[in-house]
Amino acid sequence: MENRKVRLRFAPSPTGPLHIGGVRSALYNYLFAKKHGGDFILRIEDTDQNRYVEGAEAYIVKSLAWCGIHPDEGPGIGGEYTPYRQSERKELGVYQKYADQLVASGNAYYAFDTAEELDAMRKKLEIAKASIQQYSHATRGEMKNSLSLPEEEWKQKIANGEPFVVRLKVPAGEEIRFTDVIRGEVVFNSDVVDDKVLLKSDGMPTYHLAHIVDDVLMDITHAVRGEEWLPSAPSHILIYRYLGWEDKMPQYAHLPLLLKPDGNGKLSKRDGDRLGFSVFPLEWKDPSSGEISSGYRETGYFPEAVVNMLALLGWNMEGEKEIFSMEELIANFSFEHVHKAGAKFNPEKAKWFNEQYLKEKPDAELAELLKPILLKTFNDKEFKDEFVVEVCRMMKDRVTFVSEIATKGSFFFVSPNYTAENLAKISKTITEEAINAILDVIGRDITDAANLEASLKEVATAQNLKIGEFMKFLRISIVGELSGPGVPDLILLLGANEAKSRVGECWKLMN
């Protein structure tokens, strides 16, 4: 165990788009694996055919790739432990023999109960207010299984082709303890552990059996998963024990959950819709309903920002720095600094992270990202590369997303729309004479913003206008409103002709 190569896996079910909490789980697995020079494996746990969703696996793969989380092994990638889809492994008979082994050793049994019968049992226990309302040592004697039925009878049932499942036989009155990497020692009494189904009637293993068999067969050293799995951990410990695999058992680490920003409960898709943020890395279109859920990528987030934000949601690094590259995260990651309590998701902080990354991006890179957006927003109007780069330089401190450069900075690309409300903000002291003086200054061949500003201020002084009022007029005529980069910079970038035309247009509308 000590000298084994570190191997971690992320094992999602293809039942829909990968949730941002799932991305975080994958990230923590990846960071730990890479920190220790180990492998990160993607395994698809598609043992539930009823919940299988077309396109979900491809979505998962794309999402991880977008985040910069690259599996060393997985479907479509290959590896020594192929295949990496549990449905395919089942076809190979990977799980059946371990179920058989457990039955043979007396640690599992066949059960024939129908869904209705199981339901009836639970109802009965609920009405009786039984403290344990499960299929367990306390109830299995009254159910239809190979422990309660005479041997000839249950063998006959199997011979007749009656459907059955294999259940784990959990002993009564035992203490089951294990050490969680994040939580320390956790103890359960086996009396409250149910006889979990290991093999379903369709021959598919359940998660409980499948993940254990695969973790051992794939030499997984650390099983890092969400806290929702903690209650079933004792079942898993038992399975390892009964299979004689205690020495091969990976170290378990149960991650805190991601919670709703407001109120209580697990973060869900509905919260995103309700509060206006994404809970998925990429946009997802539900194949059956056609409903579209927004993604971080489409919203305009940089993958580095999402990764950075996610990493710090429930984990922290010593020191006061908060911006970390993937390499830095890998170099510093450890489970010791994973917080035990669930973390409420904070959309505001997510934006802040993106702003930090946006500011650090080179202008030219932003321009490349902006160009396709401009094409779409302004009907294929063409703009020079240097111009777009300059726009990015001026706007990057004022936006959260690149796309906002096109919206908040639309005045760079098309003439502003002068609203009556904004025109009303202009002082009535502006005279035609002043306008002519402005047009004259703009028309001069000035290429330096400071010089231009000085010249404009000279006009203001000569015209007996307050600098503030004067600049306000210029700003509204160029930008259309009272915000944005410095007026002289804008005039120089837009060019004398465009600037003069806007000043003229604005003046015309004022009168």
Partner RNA sequence: GGUCCGUUCGUCUAGGGGUUAGGACGCAAGAUUUUCAUUCUUGUAACACGGGUUCGAUUCCCGUACGGACUACCA
Among residue numbers 131 through 160, which ones bind RNA (CB under 7 A)? Answer: 131-135
How far is residue 109's CA from residue 148's CA, in Å, rounded to a whole number? 10
Among 80, 152, 348, 445, which residue sits at the site for RNA (rule: CB under 7 A)?
Answer: 348
Among 12, 71, 83, 281, which residue sits at the site for RNA (rule: CB under 7 A)?
Answer: 12
How far is residue 285's CA from residue 293's CA, in Å, rounded to a whole number? 6
Number of chain residues interacting with RNA (CB under 7 A)? 88
Which one-letter amino acid corresponds to residue 84? Y
Among residue numbers 238 through 267, which ones bind RNA (CB under 7 A)? Answer: 256-257, 259, 261, 264-266
Check residue 197 for interaction with RNA (CB under 7 A). yes
Check residue 122 for interaction with RNA (CB under 7 A). yes
| Conformational region of residue 78, where left means phi above 0, alpha means psi within -120 to 50, and beta covers everything else | left
Check residue 419 for interaction with RNA (CB under 7 A). no
Where does 5-129 show beta strands of DSSP type E?
7-10, 39-42, 108-111
Check residue 183 for interaction with RNA (CB under 7 A). yes
Active-site hit among 269, 344, 408, 457: 269
Compute the least distance from the CB of residue 265 to RNA, in Å: 4
DSSP secondary structure letters along 181-211: TTTEEEEEEGGGS---EEE-TTSPBPHHHHH
Q: Find, among 21, 455, 448, 507, the residue nearest to 227 by Cα.
A: 21
Cβ-count burial of 505 within 10 angstroms (0-12 exposed, 13-18 middle, 19+ buried)?
A: middle
Query: 472 an active-site residue?
Result: no
Check residue 467 for interaction with RNA (CB under 7 A). yes
Check residue 48 for interaction with RNA (CB under 7 A). yes
Answer whether 340's CB lies under 8 Å from 60's CB: no
Among 100, 153, 228, 448, which residue sits at the site for RNA (rule: CB under 7 A)?
Answer: 228
Compute the least distance from the CB of residue 215 to RNA, in Å: 12
CA atoms within 13 A on the CB side of 413: 27
Check residue 453 for interaction with RNA (CB under 7 A). yes
Closer Cβ to RNA, 130 or 292, answer by number: 130
Among 230, 375, 423, 439, which residue sits at the site for RNA (rule: CB under 7 A)?
Answer: 230
Q: Interacting stretch for RNA, rule CB under 7 A, among 284-292, 300-308, 428-436, 470-478?
A: 470-478
Closer Cβ to RNA, 475 or 502, answer by number: 475
The interaxial angle of helices 303-311 and 347-360, nearest 10 deg, is: 130
Angle, alpha carbons 250-253-259 (nearest 5°): 150
Closer Cβ to RNA, 340 or 376, answer by number: 340
222-226 and 251-255 beta bridge pairing: parallel
Check residue 414 for interaction with RNA (CB under 7 A). no
Check residue 13 for interaction with RNA (CB under 7 A). yes
Compute the least distance from the CB of residue 111 to RNA, in Å: 7
Active site residues: 269
